[in-house]
Structure 1
Amino acid sequence: MIIKVFANFREICGGKVIELTVEEGQSISTVLDELINQFPKMYDELYTVDKQLKPLVHVFVNGRNIIHLEGLTTTIHSSDQIALFPPVAGG
């Protein structure tokens, strides 16, 4: 499975694209847990203290934001592409 990371997530993960092996039919939450196993600093970037996705973190599966799917319980497949966007400020 391919995970594309952006902005400061790239610094934490050491690149633009991360490849993970996750069993077919798992949830996006499981994918994020596996990512955190490899890059522990991602936990504080992704989650609040009660393990809710931070409000300004955006997770996309095949170009669709998971808030429009089933949130962290969204089922993923090995061919899916995931993109993680941190909060970004501009001006």
Structure 2
Amino acid sequence: MQVKVFANLRVICGGVTVEVMPDGHRVIDVLEKMVEMFPDIEEEIFTSDRTLKDFVHVYINGKNIVHLAGLETAVAETDQFALFPPVAGG
């Protein structure tokens, strides 16, 4: 599955698009595999209780997972998966 990452996550992951082969078919499985591949990403996206940090957004086919099943949202290899870290600015 291809995951598009944005802002500082591009630096951590070494590019805009990352090929991820998760062990399951949920958003959390993809994110857990990304942490395994890029350990520095963990503190950028997860809280200590393994929920997404405030202002971290995951979009599946253009829909925010908060409007779907959250981290339990099912994903397919052909889905568009986008991960946005908190971004500040003005």
Report the counterpart of residue 72 of structure 1 in structure 2. 71
What TM-score, normalized by structure 2, do the two folds share? 0.94
Shift of residue 40, structure 1, vs aligned partner: 0.4
Secondary structure, counterpart of 2:39 in structure 1: coil
- Paired-residue identity, %: 50
TM-superposed deviation, 1:22: 3.0
Gaps of 5+ in 1: none
Q: TM-score, normalised on structure 1?
A: 0.93
Structure 1 runs, 4 residues or longer, greater than 2 Å off? none
Rounded Cα–Cα distance in structure 1 between residues aligned with 2:47 and 2:22: 24
Consecutive unaligned residues in structure 2, runs of 5 or more: none
Give matches, 1:55-70, under 5 Å. Answer: 55-70=54-69
RMSD: 1.1
Q: Deviations over 1:47-68 (max 9, x none)?
A: 1111111011000011110000
Query: Which residue matches 1:17?
Result: 17
Match status 1:26 vs 2:25:
yes
